């Protein structure tokens, strides 16, 4: 954006498509889509490893330490989440979104209304989460689920393709 050469700068449309300009509803949907996509991925898969690379800066060493006590308590009721994992943070967000109406009042108050305050709760505590996740998932830009989050010009090694089983005749 700072280049003196106009052709080296992104267009206004490209700038407006940047994740920092997304609505909170779109951010929340993106986090959910990523979480759902990664749920069945192997912990040792290329995509999960890429998401977790540098994740300590994203989760600020341990995301459990940066969320409210009522939310910590509620999360422990249903499953185990690793505080050092970006994937687990995304899963916790996804699960609290899906079960928002069932949450105790103290947790709903802490998270605030959907989607603005809810997204703000997490992105204010984990300011690197959106861009880190977007950068990692760029390799899945050609997947239908993620195509709306990336411009056609986005190019990256396709870790989504690499994670798929390959039949003798080619990809399944």
Fold classification of 23-160 is: de novo design (two linked rop proteins) (1.20.1440)
At residue 166 the predicted structure's pLDDT band, cuts being 50, 70 and 90, is very low
Look at residue 159 in the predicted model and tell me its pLDDT: 59
Per-residue model confidence as pLDDT tens digits over 103-162: 999 999 999 999 999 999 999 999 999 999 999 999 999 999 999 999 765 544 455 655
Q: Would the pTM of this model clear 0.95, i.e. be above it? A: no
What is the rounded CA–CA span in Å between residue 122 and residue 97? 12
Look at residue 15 in the predicted model and tell me its pLDDT: 84
Per-residue model confidence as pLDDT tens digits over 93-115: 999 999 999 999 999 999 999 99
Per-residue model confidence as pLDDT tens digits over 21-33: 999 999 999 999 9
What is the rounded CA–CA span in Å between residue 162 and residue 172? 12
Domain boundaries, given as residue ranges, for the chain: 23-160
């Amino acid at each position: 954006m700072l280049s003196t050469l106009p052709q080296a700068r992104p267009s206004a449309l490209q700038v407006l498509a940047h994740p920092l300009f997304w609505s909170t509803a779109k951010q929340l949907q993106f986090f959910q889509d990523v979480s759902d996509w990664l749920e069945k991925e192997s912990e040792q898969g290329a995509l999960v490893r890429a998401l977790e690379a540098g994740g300590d800066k994203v989760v600020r060493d341990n995301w459990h330490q940066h969320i409210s006590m009522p939310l910590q308590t509620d999360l422990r009721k249903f499953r185990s989440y690793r505080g050092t994992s970006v994937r687990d943070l995304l899963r916790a967000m996804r699960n609290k979104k899906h079960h928002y109406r069932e949450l105790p009042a103290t947790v709903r108050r802490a998270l605030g209304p959907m989607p603005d305050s809810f997204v703000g709760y997490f992105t204010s505590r984990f300011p690197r989460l959106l861009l880190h996740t977007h950068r990692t998932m760029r390799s899945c830009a050609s997947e239908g689920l993620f195509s709306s989050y990336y411009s056609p010009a986005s190019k990256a090694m396709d870790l989504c393709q690499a994670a798929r089983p390959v039949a003798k005749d080619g990809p399944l």
